[in-house]
Amino acid sequence: MKFWFFFAFVLLGILVFKGYISKGIYQATTSKNIQLLYTIFSIGTFIIGIITLVTTFPNGIIGLTTLKNFMIALMLSVVICELILSAFFILDDLLLFFNTMMEKKNSAIVDDTVDTNSRRRFLKTTGLALSSIPFASFLYGITKGKYNFTVFEQTLTFSDLPKDFDGFKIVQFSDLHSGGFDSYENVKRGFDLIQAQQADIILFTGDLVNDLAEEILPYKDLLQKLHAPFGKYSVLGNHDYSEDDGLFPDKAAKTKNFIAIQQHQKDVGFQLLNNANTKIEKDKAFIRLLGVENWGNSFIKEGDFDKAIENCGDKEFSILMSHDPSHWEKIVLKHPKHIHLTLSGHTHGMQMGVEAFGIKWSPIQYFYKYWAGLYQELNQYLYVNRGFGFMGFAGRVGIPPEITVFTLKVSDGL
């Protein structure tokens, strides 16, 4: 906690200092007033956002409102855009430093005050204009984008898929993070969209809550109304283990919370696959559905893949639910047991990035090799769902909340 207070203090100092050194750059009264208003807005938003954070999260994330979500997300948006703008200030300072050094080296005495101020105004104005682009995107993301549920469709073809499962439709959603929601109607719209896909089976790949079991209570009815002919199945994500010990008075309370999270899923008709497997049978054929508890590089490692594949045949068509894609990379991909399709989530695509015009980029890719969409290696598929909810930053910028629809097909000629 001390680190975050220190970090907040440093960022506030940057905002104040940038505002101070900006006041002498612009000569026109209108430009000065715009810069002053922008600085006041940035500092004010930052302070209000910090106060909202400090007063909201001491006892978990319960009780978030639209206003609180908006202020926290707006604060983060302002900070990111201010850092972009500050980069232009740093660039200007570096240019001024090198110019000064060159003048001293050449013993030149030149009055370039007009040129310097002109350059500084250009750099700052350019930085302000460029930072306004992501700011507008962030503003959309924290108002509309976070509930812009989008259906991603994938048709996957396999040579060894049982013929009875040709055309079998799977819906996956992941990372509900129910404690962060502030609009029941918008969440309901997302669940209605899941049901509208008319899938044969519905799979949820973890993170039902942020920390506390009661976060799901306002939305249990929505989960219960989901139905599919071949059932509903789920696994646990890292947040379902509520790793923040400070939220609980003792270990017994934490254990009780963990049991309640699992019970809520059972109450609404989801079958939890905790390092287990089951047969999905259709006519005289079946496919194998497996699920592991969370396994992540930097998170809890309760997933036991060897236990999950017990009693599975080597040649059975198999689908695995594993919350963290790191598990596929580190354990599943090179395991002797062939898994045709692994479904994961966890990354959220960092809730911000670019997926357009052939560009696929997000800061999360520097932490996760597999972070969104479909991947194929060693004749195995991994799909990383971008998440249904949001966590931390209450918004979605360029990475929409996702509902994935898979249609399984048998290869032609078989």
Q: How far is CA 121 from CA 32, 94, 132, in A?
A: 11, 15, 16
Whether the pTM exceeds 0.85: the reply is no
The secondary structure element, H or E, covering residue 277 is strand 276-282
Could you tell me if residue 348 is left (phi over 0), alpha (psi between -120 and 50 degrees) or otherwise beta? left
Please state, in angstroms and rounded to a whole number, the distance separating the CA atoms of residues 398 and 150. 12
Please state, in angstroms and rounded to a whole number, the distance separating the CA atoms of residues 365 and 235. 24
Amino acid at position 365, single letter: Q
Nearest residue to 327 (alpha-carbon basis) of 351, 298, 353, 352? 298
| Burial call 377-393: b when 16+ CB within 10 Å, e when fewer | eeebbbbbbbbbbbbeb
Give 305's contacts (C-beta < 8 A, 6+ positions apart).
275, 292, 295, 327, 331, 332, 335, 337
Amino acid at position 361, single letter: W
pLDDT in tens, the chain (414 residues): 444 455 555 555 555 555 555 555 444 555 556 566 666 666 777 677 667 766 666 556 655 666 777 777 777 777 777 666 666 665 655 555 566 666 666 655 445 555 555 665 666 666 666 666 777 788 888 889 999 999 999 999 999 999 999 999 999 999 999 998 989 999 999 999 999 999 999 999 999 999 999 999 999 999 999 999 999 999 999 999 998 878 899 999 999 999 999 999 999 999 999 999 999 999 989 999 999 999 998 889 999 999 999 999 989 999 999 999 999 999 999 999 999 999 999 999 999 999 988 999 999 999 999 999 999 999 999 999 999 999 888 899 999 999 999 999 999 754
Token pair of 345, please?
A: 């989530």
Alpha carbon 79 to chain centroid distance?
18
CB atoms within 10 A of CB 44: 13
The secondary structure element, H or E, covering residue 318 is strand 318-321
**Measured on CA atoms in the order 110, 114, 117, 123, is the torsion positive or negative?**
negative
Token pair of 244, please?
A: 């923040």
Residue 411 has what DSSP assignment?
A: P
Please state, in angstroms and rounded to a whole number, the distance separating the CA atoms of residues 38 and 28. 16
Q: Where are the alpha helices (DSSP H) in 197-245?
A: 220-225
pLDDT, position 76 = 74
Please state, in angstroms and rounded to a whole number, the distance separating the CA atoms of residues 85 and 88. 6
Give 294's contacts (C-beta < 8 A, 6+ positions apart).
206, 235, 236, 237, 238, 240, 241, 300, 301, 302, 303, 323, 324
Nearest residue to 233 (alpha-carbon basis) of 199, 197, 258, 193? 199
Q: How far apart are the first and last CA of the chain?
A: 60
Nearest residue to 242 (alpha-carbon basis) of 213, 271, 275? 213
Radius of gyration in angstroms for the set of CA atoms belonging to the chain, rounded to a whole number: 26
SS3 123: helix
pLDDT, position 20 = 52
pLDDT, position 22 = 53
pLDDT, position 136 = 78
Which domains, ranges and CATH numbers included, belong to the chain? Answer: 2-143 (no CATH), 151-410 (3.60.21.10)
Nearest residue to 235 (alpha-carbon basis) of 302, 138, 152, 317? 302
Residue 349 has what DSSP assignment?
A: G
Q: Where are the alpha helices (DSSP H) in 23-163?
A: 29-56, 66-105, 113-143
What is the largest distance, in Å, between two alpha-carbon atoms of the chain? Answer: 91
For strand 318-321 and strand 341-344, is the pairing parallel, antiparallel, or unpaired? parallel
Nearest residue to 364 (alpha-carbon basis) of 388, 386, 383? 386
Q: Which residue has the tokens 């060693």?
A: 378
Token pair of 40, please?
A: 């006041």
